[in-house]
Amino acid sequence: MVRAAVFIGVDRASGLTPLHDAAAGARRLRDDWAVEQKFAYTELVTDADGAKVTLDRVYDAIGRVLKPDVEQLVVYFAGHGINVARHECWLLSDAPRVGHAVISATISEEQARYCGVPHVVFISDACRTAAGSIGLQNVNGNGIFPNEEPTGTEKPVDLFFGASLGRPTYEVSNVDDAVAGFTALYTDALGKALRFQVPELVDWTRERDDEVGLIRPRRLRDHLNKAVTRTIRDRNLPDPVVQVPDARITSDPQVWVSRHVGRLPPLAPAPRPPRPPFGVAPVGRGGIDGGVRDGDGAPDEGEATASAAETTGEFESPFESLRPPHVTQTRSDVAPDLREASGTLVSLALQNPAFVANLLSVTDAAGPRQFETRCGFKLRGARVRDALALGADVQKLGGADDIVRINPQHVAPLVLLVLDDGSGVVVPAIRDFIGALTFDAGEFVDLAYEPSANGWRAGAYQERARELQTLRKVVAAASRNGSFRLEGEDAARLARRMQLLKGVDPSLAIYAAYAYYDGRDRQRLTEMNDFLRRDLDAVLFDVALLAGALDGCRIAVGDPLLGLFPLLSQGWIYLRTRRVTLPEGAERLQPHLRESLWTQFDARGVDLLRSTSFKDASSWQLVD
């Protein structure tokens, strides 16, 4: 198989704390693995010699290895990283001072599927923490592959991340005095695995007279999760070092990423590393000596306080040593109902303490279960200051600031709710449904629809209310944590269950659509979009977007779309990759997105909506 690779390492991004092992790690992986594997084409792009790493350098390197005979391409990045609207951005030398000196891993992934290479692998050893400063929030990621119209059949792309969503990656001081400096935890574990230093990871097969060992993506993913956590535990790293790798695998299970011919020589048992000297602290990929920092160099107040140093002995789950006692107790309280609702998803998601915290923030909104108009909204965790509607009459009921009644006059009415903190959300009013909006610490964390109790759908909802409410909480919490995936037989059954329930809660269709899109399940996306069109006489914006129904379209106010733009914030980046144009004014909203699972705008974004898309909207009336 003809293989190619591009290794990118950026130690110094403009204004951010320098890293120690990004450039060196990229070179090490190329020299120790790619050369050993006899890659036909390799490129190394780093700032080790003082040269800046720019988009042009990376783009040109990709172009040099995109040969017609290449069957597998590996793109490795090490450096500072952030997530913007739950999408990865890699910061190059001039970022964030130059907002476009940034690689969007998501856009690059979308482009790579049509670059002509049968299998592309992205590997990222970079933080995935949220952008904390204004400068980082305004970065504008770019793709690194040719920006061409999608043609032909899309090819599989596998993505390996050094950390889970919202978390940093780390460099740690070397314990061997003969090796000075720092080593990146993830790249170190990855290099050992790819170079066949983990015998139990190898799949053996026979080719003619040779025994051939193969490292396959799915087993590599599972190994890295355990290996990094085990290193943290064995080295007794101080609080709050918690790093759990992540991956999205869409390639065939038989695909491999590393190959060895002949039996492996026996490995000498590795000595247990000693505890680092007192005062040695980890260095995050977005961090500084002496403490954990997020992507902009400021303290990350949202970091978990769990420590791997408190646990001894063996463990099955890579998260077992990281779960603080109060989370373990919470798990026992919620697990039975959740397992009854969704099985494997819950057993996986409950391993992550952040998931449990997110789960507890999503509770059923109180308030009315029916309106005379059979349509409206109720809020939990926020109050409504003002409301404007397109294609509907909107009314505030009495003195309540968290209940809004809607009388739809259009097949797909839209409502702008201005909240008490000045931010705002745009939500579709769906006939015969009451929308329940949940806010946690100012963030729009969940949107759920339940049939109005006086409508024709109420009977079906009541039959499945317990299952539906529990499933929705689990999916919402997992999505907020970046861990909602649909893989394997159990996940396929869960997906089917969500499909069956989408007629009584359309928001489940939105969550499922993103999971299907990650898994490249186009058939289910199309089927779901068609069902919603028949059932609701309109389509949900996100589902239509991901199903490809909006490709190349210009959206207009008044279209039969439930949504004027993506309802989940992660959908905004796909407007670029699917070439979708928003109405005049709405295309300027993206810089005003707040950090939120569901789309939420700051006060300036609300003003822009008032003066453009909602300039002809009807404002609410007070009803006693």
User: What pLDDT is attached to residue 129?
Assistant: 80
Listed residues 261, 276, 294: the one ending a domain: 261
User: What pLDDT is attached to residue 346?
Assistant: 46
Would you say residue 60 lies in a domain? yes
Quickly state the pLDDT bin for 393 (edges 50, 70, 90): very high
User: What pLDDT is attached to residue 179?
Assistant: 42
Would you say residue 458 lies in a domain? yes
Listed residues 212, 246, 261: the one ending a domain: 261
Does residue 125 surpass a pLDDT of 80?
A: yes
Query: Mean of the pLDDT values across residues 262-278?
Result: 58
CB atoms within 10 A of CB 576: 17
> Do 382 and 256 sit in the same domain of this protein?
no
User: What pLDDT is attached to residue 166?
Assistant: 72
Q: Give residue 189's region: left, alpha or beta (phi > 0; psi -120 to 50).
A: alpha
Contact indicator for 425, 445 with CB cutoff of 8 Å? no
Say which range, 241-255, 342-356, 410-424, 519-533, has the weakest mean pLDDT: 342-356
Residues 569-623 have pLDDT tens digits of 999 999 998 999 999 888 899 889 998 889 999 999 999 999 999 998 888 876 6
User: What single-letter DSSP state applies at residue 554?
Assistant: B
Structure tokens of 437?
A: 């909006």
Q: What are phi and psi of 71, to 5 degrees?
A: -110, -20
Query: Mean of the pLDDT values across residues 535-547?
Result: 92
Structural domain of 106: 3-261
Rounded CA separation 495/479 (Å): 14
Hunting for tokens 């050094």 — which residue is that? 162
Q: Which residues pair with 135 in a beta bridge?
A: none
Listed residues 244, 261, 278: the one ending a domain: 261
- Based on the number of CB atoms within 10 Å of its own CB, is 363 exposed (0-12), middle (13-18) or buried (19 or more)? middle
Structure tokens of 409?
A: 């006059």
> For residue 193, which amino acid is it?
A
User: What pLDDT is attached to residue 457?
Assistant: 76
> For residue 522, which amino acid is it?
R
User: What pLDDT is attached to residue 163?
Assistant: 86
pTM over 0.75: yes
Would you say residue 568 lies in a domain? yes
Structure tokens of 13?
A: 């991004």
CATH assignment of the domain containing 65 = 3.40.50.1460
Q: How far is CA 112 from the centre of its chain?
A: 18
Q: Does 510 or 121 have the greater pLDDT score?
A: 121
3-class SS of residue 247: strand
Residues 330-342 have pLDDT tens digits of 223 333 333 443 4
Does residue 156 surpass a pLDDT of 50?
A: yes
Quickly state the pLDDT bin for 48 (edges 50, 70, 90): very high
- Based on the number of CB atoms within 10 Å of its own CB, is 263 exposed (0-12), middle (13-18) or buried (19 or more)? exposed
Mean pLDDT of the chain: 79
Residues 190-207 have pLDDT tens digits of 999 999 999 999 999 988
Read out DSSP for 584-601? Answer: TTGGG-GGGB-S-SB--B
Residues 174-184 have pLDDT tens digits of 644 334 467 88
Any idea what the Cα angle at residue 294 is, between residues 293 and 298, rounded to 5°?
A: 70
Buried b / exposed e over 107-128, threshold 16 CB at 10 Å, is: bbbbbbbbbbbebbbbbbbbbb
Does residue 503 surpass a pLDDT of 70?
A: no
Would you say residue 289 lies in a domain? no
> Structurally, how many domains does the chain consist of?
2
Hunting for tokens 């796909």 — which residue is that? 574
Say which range, 8-22, 112-126, 164-178, has the weakest mean pLDDT: 164-178
Q: Does 332 or 53 have the greater pLDDT score?
A: 53
Q: Which residues contact 346 (CB under 8 A, 6 or more apart)?
A: 335, 338, 339, 474
User: What pLDDT is attached to residue 100?
Assistant: 84
Would you say residue 288 lies in a domain? no
Can the peptide bond before residue 245 be classed as cis, meaning omega within 30 degrees of 0?
no
Would you say residue 214 lies in a domain? yes
- Based on the number of CB atoms within 10 Å of its own CB, is 265 exposed (0-12), middle (13-18) or buried (19 or more)? exposed
Helices (H), 163-267: 185-194, 217-234
Does residue 69 surpass a pLDDT of 90?
A: yes
Rounded CA separation 486/517 (Å): 10
User: What pLDDT is attached to residue 622?
Assistant: 66
Quickly state the pLDDT bin for 514 (edges 50, 70, 90): confident
Say what percent of the chain tops pLDDT 70.
73
Contact indicator for 524, 539 with CB cutoff of 8 Å? no
Would you say residue 34 lies in a domain? yes
> Do 87 and 215 sit in the same domain of this protein?
yes
Q: Which residues contact 377 (CB under 8 A, 6 or more apart)?
A: 403, 404, 406, 415, 417, 427, 429, 434, 435, 436, 437
User: What pLDDT is attached to residue 270?
Assistant: 55
Say what percent of the chain tops pLDDT 90.
45
Rounded CA separation 164/86 (Å): 11
Structure tokens of 67?
A: 């040969």
Would you say residue 363 lies in a domain? no
Quickly state the pLDDT bin for 8 (edges 50, 70, 90): very high
Residues 411-425 have pLDDT tens digits of 889 999 999 999 999
User: What pLDDT is attached to residue 153?
Assistant: 81
Helix axes of 325-342 and 353-361: crossing angle, nearest 10 degrees: 70
Helices (H), 265-324: none
Quickly state the pLDDT bin for 142 (edges 50, 70, 90): very high
> Do 68 and 205 sit in the same domain of this protein?
yes
> For residue 320, which amino acid is it?
E
Contact indicator for 380, 610 with CB cutoff of 8 Å? no
